Amino acid sequence: MGGPKESVKEHGPRATWRPVSGRHERKLALEDYLRSESPLSGAVPNTLPPWINKFTPMWLREVCQCAECVDPSTLQRRTRSTPLGPEGYRVRSITYDPDQKNVFLLWDDEHKTHFSMDFLRAHANRPALMMEHRAPFRRQVWSATDLPAEPLSFPLSEGDRKLALLRLMQYGIVFLKNVPRDGEAIWDVAKAFGDVRPTFYGQTWDVKSVPNSKNVAYTDQLLGFHQDLLYMRNPPAYQILHCIDNQVSGGESAFIDALRPAYTLAFSDPDKFKLLTMRPIPFQYVNDDQRWHCNHTTIELRPLGDGGDGYNAEEPCLDMNDSVKLLKLPNFESTVAHINYSPPFQGPISLNSPNAVFDALRVFGELLEEPEARYECKLEEGEAVIFDNRRVLHARKGFDGNQGPRWLKGCYLDLDSVVNTWRRHGPGGTGEIVDVVSADLARAGEEE
């Protein structure tokens, strides 16, 4: 009734009129305001440095440190990221107290914000922020001759604790001596670095040769380079091995920085490197009434600039003598986060995997066997080693278990607790968040 019907075919879908809500109007006005250039420029006093203009009104309001926004006792936020109207992000005035070194902002909605200059300076750029958060020092990719393997005396002085944490963060491994030869001393060692992470092996565990063992570690057999517990989604970050008894011939320990073969492959054969970053490899432990299984890529990457897990390795670079950064891995916008390599616990690879996967694993394994890359030692009684289980691979030569006792006590450490210990007791961060690799590795691809 009333007139001809509209044809959707001829005129398209009927437009539906909806009133513009006040909330939508505020959003449009806010977007229009935030698109304006240099919204702070007209309000910044000449007494403040020009870098203050880096901060946007939205950032300044969002991180307001006043007692209304941050609880003075808990130091935790009382607010959440809720859009305000334009007046909530429009700065009416900015004043600076040079004596107290504080900046005061008054907003058009009458809210008052103040910041210390130290706070603003710490957030003005990424290096400053890394210093503020005491980000770990850059990782130093090492070969056997580069590794500072001289053990530090336990218990650690405050200075040696800083040095131990520095070695652990930079090289992924540190050795200790004079650790008491009893089964409880490992707890004191762990306390110096972080919190023990329990697993189905317990809070601590004993590495001894036992008959009918359910794990190759508990035999006197040769144990090649590997990492522990890769059959878990989140393998332990750090491991401690404390030598209590070692009265056998053989049984030498070996360690290798797996970042070295990873970067070697990246520069010399990017195709194989890329394959190992993309093809998940299965790991499993199916024994002794346990069924653990998980897949990981052999080389695990993270985007450049993402140091969220505490390592904060942002870019690989040449060694410090060259002082030249490589902006990124060849053909990649990422850097190496972790290595996942553990042949004893590797499960059957997917049936549809191309032969190239096996070939890439073979080449990676051959790089691990380069004599100059591996550091080998026989742990003495009373020595301990702490190492990064996601980076440093460990191995053991076979020994004769009938000659005498060989007893290593072990435990794992939680990653975040170790980084927290670094931030509280380490020497601090540099703000230079890079991996350091030798020039020889970087140039390997150029000689092909």
Averaged confidence pLDDT in the chain: 82
- Name the amino acid, one letter, at 50: P
- What is the 3 state secondary structure string of 98-155? CCCCEEEEEECCCCEEEEEHHHHHHCCCHHHHHHHCCCCCCEECCCCCCCCCCCEECC
* More confident site: 136 or 426: 426
- Give the pLDDT of residue 213: 67
The angle at the Cα of 73, spanning 71 to 77, to the nearest 5 degrees, equals 25
* More confident site: 239 or 45: 239
Q: Please enumerate in sequence order all residues whose Cβ is within 8 A of that of 22, keeping only pairs 6 or more positions apart, or say none.
A: none
- Give the pLDDT of residue 18: 47
Whether residue 26 is predicted with pLDDT greater than 90 in this model: the reply is no
Q: How many CB atoms lie within 10 A of CB 206?
A: 14
pLDDT digits (tens, 9 = 90+) for 284-301: 999 989 999 999 999 998
- Give the pLDDT of residue 304: 57
* Strands 173-177 and 152-153, bridge-based pairing: parallel
Whether residue 323 is predicted with pLDDT greater than 50 in this model: the reply is no
How many Cα atoms occupy the beta-carbon half-sphere of 279 within 13 Å?
21
What domains are defined for the chain?
Answer: 22-124 (3.30.2020.30), 139-447 (3.60.130.10)
Which pTM does this prediction carry?
0.79
* More confident site: 165 or 89: 165
Give the integer Cα–Cα distance in Å for 195 and 177: 21
- Give the pLDDT of residue 350: 92
- pLDDT-based confidence at residue 339 (cuts at 50, 70, 90): very high
Whether residue 305 is predicted with pLDDT greater than 70 in this model: the reply is no
- pLDDT-based confidence at residue 81 (cuts at 50, 70, 90): confident
Of 70, 136, 92, residue with least CA distance to 428: 136
Give the integer Cα–Cα distance in Å for 144 and 257: 9
* More confident site: 56 or 4: 56
Are the C-beta atoms of residues 65 and 6 closer than 8 Å to each other?
A: no
Sign of the CA dihedral with 236 first, then 240, 245, and 251 last: positive
Question: Which residue is it, tokens 């309000």?
Answer: 43
Whether residue 418 is predicted with pLDDT greater than 50 in this model: the reply is yes
* More confident site: 213 or 205: 205
Whether residue 125 is predicted with pLDDT greater than 80 in this model: the reply is no
- pLDDT-based confidence at residue 91 (cuts at 50, 70, 90): confident
What b/e string do you get for 208-230 counting C-beta neighbours within 10 Å, with b at 16 or more?
bbeeeeebebbbbbebbbbbbbb
